[in-house]
Amino acid sequence: MALIRASVTVVEPLAADMTVYFYAILFARYPEVRPMFPPGMDAQRGRLLRALLHIVDLVDDPESLVRFCGHLGRDHRKFGTLRAHYPAVGECLLASLARYAGPAWTADTAAAWGKAYGVVADVMIGAAEQDEAQRPAVWPAKVVHKVLRGHGIAEITLRPHMPYMFAAGQYVSLETPWWPKQWRYYSAANAPRPDGTLTLHVRAVGGGSVSDALVHRSTVGDLLQLGPPMGDMVLDAAVHRDLLCVAGGTGLAPIRAIVEEVARRGGGHNVDLFLGARTGAELYGVDDMLRMAQQHHWLSIRGAVSHEYIPGIRGSLPEVLAEYGPWYQHDVYLSGPAPMVVSASQTLTQHGTLPDRIHHDPFETPVLSAH
């Protein structure tokens, strides 16, 4: 573990160049894998780097490492990844690390990385093969409804052609016909429905090819592809009866799904929901949630605006949470931009909430910032 962490410290300042080199030698040595990847590789390089750094972070937490690598293995089925591809990736990854670590790359370091990669690959392969016996790698899904919500946000409802089992709070990967092999992650905005449909909240972001196509180009009848559902930010993770839910922007999607799931189970929890935005006009989805609060006595809602003077609560979500707490007897569900999630987590832990009671999507999966 010490050798792996020391070598990562050396290569991390050069990590962007290292991932370019990794894919260059992978495609040069094994050209048959190139068609598995999109023409533009920028997002893919970033994804590799985030996953690699997260694996290193988890190297002394075996339970979390196995869970994360299992997710990766199952998710990689949609790319057509096979057992035979793993040795090629390992060979090129170690060659890239050796090149950019320089003198820090010793025989012992190489052996440590080889052993670590072997463990990661075995977990990923095992998870993928187990998953293959239970369900498909991808689910074709038709757009059956689309609503534009303003501020570049669209609600897109899909009906998968085959049963698609997911839990409220999970996220899904999605491929469009306009950008083949460019998979992006979005949270389902609903609990499982009897008709099998799921609704995604998509914001078109600057430079975001996939999100822009979904918001401005997709139409009812279009056929998309879904990868397997992922994520552990689910209601069954809660131990307390009281829940605190915090949503910034389109981070409302998984929070809405969790609230729907509480209702579906008969309202067994009290839910305090805080919605945040920079301006009142950007306070997304508040009307829908207020209607839900009128139906369910266990749900209370507060909206906070940070950059505009309007009636109501003013301030960032972390500031407002500190004002309205304490929340140490609640399970907490956070969703939104990563800086908000980090700041809110720090505020809550400073006020007594145990870290393992704070649930959010992993930062290495760009659910809300994906293009």
User: Over the stretch 258-299, which tens digit does the pLDDT of each residue have?
Assistant: 999 999 999 889 999 998 876 556 667 778 888 999 999 999
| Range of lowest pLDDT (47-61, 134-148, 261-275, 312-326) | 312-326
What integer is the mean pLDDT of 303-308?
66
**How much is the pLDDT for 28?**
96
Q: How confident is the model at residue 371 (pLDDT cuts 50, 70, 90)?
A: very low
2-132 adopts what CATH topology?
Globin-like (1.10.490)
For residue range 232-257, list pLDDT tens digits in order: 899 998 899 999 999 987 788 999 99
Q: How confident is the model at residue 166 (pLDDT cuts 50, 70, 90)?
A: very high
pLDDT value at 359 more than 90: yes
**How much is the pLDDT for 370?**
36
235-359 adopts what CATH topology?
Rossmann fold (3.40.50)
pTM recorded for the entire structure: 0.84
Rounded-to-10 torsion of CA 153, 159, 162, 168: 50
pLDDT value at 222 more than 60: yes
DSSP 165-227: ---TT-EEEEE-SSSTT--EEEEBSS---TT--EEEEEE--TT-HHHHHHHHT--TT-EEEE-
**How much is the pLDDT for 229?**
92
Q: What is the DSSP letter of 269?
A: S
What integer is the mean pLDDT of 55-60?
82
What integer is the mean pLDDT of 99-112?
94
Beta strands in the chain (DSSP E): 139-150, 153-160, 171-175, 184-187, 198-203, 223-226, 242-248, 270-277, 299-305, 313-314, 330-335, 358-359
Please answer whether residues 143 and 337 qualify as being in contact, where contact means their C-beta atoms are separated by less than 8 angstroms. no
Q: What is the per-residue burial (b if ≥16 Cβ within 10 Å, else e) of 63-99?
A: eebbebbbbbbbbbbbbebeeebbeebbbbbbebbbb
pLDDT value at 367 more than 50: no
**How much is the pLDDT for 313?**
61
139-226 homologous superfamily: Translation factors (2.40.30.10)
**How much is the pLDDT for 368?**
35
Angle of helix 85-101 versus helix 2-11 axis, rounded to 10:
70
Q: Where in the chain is the domain with CATH 1.10.490.10?
A: 2-132
For the chain, percent of residues with pLDDT exceeding 70: 93
Q: Where in the chain is the domain with CATH 2.40.30.10?
A: 139-226
Q: Where in the chain is the domain with CATH 3.40.50.80?
A: 235-359
Q: By three-state DSSP, how is residue 326 classified?
A: coil
For residues 98 and 122, what is the distance between their CA atoms, to the nearest angstrom?
22
Q: What is the CA radius of gyration of the chain?
A: 21
What integer is the mean pLDDT of 52-78?
87
